[in-house]
Amino acid sequence: MYYLKEFLVFIKHIFLSRRLLVILTHHDIRARYLGSFLGFLWAFIQPAIMIFILWFVFQVGFKSRPMANIPFVLWLIAGIIPWFFFSDVVVSTTNSIIENSFLVKKVVFRVSILPIIKVLSGLMIHLFFIGILIIILLLYGVKPSIFWLQSLYYLSGMVMLTVGIGWLMSSLAVFVRDISHFVGVAIQFGFWITPIFWPISMVPEKYNWLIKLNPVFYVVEGYRDSFFRNIPFWTHRELTILFWLETGIIFILGAMVFKRLRPHFADVL
């Protein structure tokens, strides 16, 4: 009961800082690209180039066939967009405390919002890419569907997941600097084991459960269910329960670890 009360107080304090969150998120987006010639456009150029390279290699080079009657390029974009959000946010949140060490010693500043700022910053860019995906779908003649709104459900789950990971990794990175390098390697490994540009049917059925343990798999497939297959999320009952169980544990664990380690940040930084 004590830990539950502690957790709820922690969340309440963050909610009370919502106006500051909006201001600092806007500042973070501007500061990230300040000084570069193309500025904010770099947020979209780099992922767009990555999508083009993968499309060229697998569509033009390997002559990849449509996935379940879905043009490969659409299938690829719908899967890689949520991955870009996840990977970018996890890396940036891991370093969020170290990069803003000057704020840690300010008693009145709520340090717990620093990882959330990175999540919201990445969310703004992600919403733009969802808009681009919708435009591409319309150009390909895909008719709008009410299921497109379901992507917001999957997005909300991913936001909660990345906030929990952000709290956990950023607090640990203060004491173990190798954490940021570990996260970078894990992100590269995660990209190749997540069915982004290959279907899960390529994996022997007896090993499918290992792929499904990855919470990002649920979101990637959820985007495709929303934009192409018109499949409601509640039809995947076991996957849905597994995803929210994993996400809930990571969110609560991240919050509690952050709260426990927060008093010692200033001593280390």
Tell me the domain boundaries of the chain: 2-268
Sign of CA dihedral 104, 262, 83, 151: negative
Q: pLDDT tens for residues 202-249?
A: 888 888 888 889 999 999 999 999 998 888 989 989 999 999 999 999
- pLDDT computed for residue 177 by the predictor: 85
Closest alpha carbon to 157 in 63, 266, 53, 248: 248
- pLDDT computed for residue 269 by the predictor: 67
- What value, to the nearest 5°, has the Cα angle with vertex 124 and ends 122 and 126? 70
Which ranges of 140-235 would DSSP assign to H, the alpha helix? 150-175, 179-193, 208-212, 215-224
150, two tokens: 């379901």
- Non-local CB neighbours of 214 within 8 Å, separated by 6+ positions: 190, 193, 194
CB 224 within 8 A of CB 79: yes
Please report which confidence band the pLDDT of residue 257 belongs to, taking 50, 70 and 90 as the band edges: very high
Percent residues over pLDDT 70 in the chain: 80
- pLDDT computed for residue 1 by the predictor: 58
Please report which confidence band the pLDDT of residue 67 belongs to, taking 50, 70 and 90 as the band edges: low
**Is the confidence at residue 46, as pLDDT, over 90?**
no
- pLDDT computed for residue 243 by the predictor: 95
Half-sphere exposure of 87 (CA within 13 A, CB side): 19
Query: pTM to 2 decimals?
Result: 0.86
H or E element: which one contains 104? helix 101-104
- Looking at per-residue pLDDT, the higher value among 181 and 65 belongs to 181
Closest alpha carbon to 260 in 5, 7, 14: 7
**Is the confidence at residue 184, as pLDDT, over 80?**
yes
Highest-scoring range by mean pLDDT, 65-69, 92-96, 205-209: 92-96
**Is the confidence at residue 6, as pLDDT, over 60?**
no
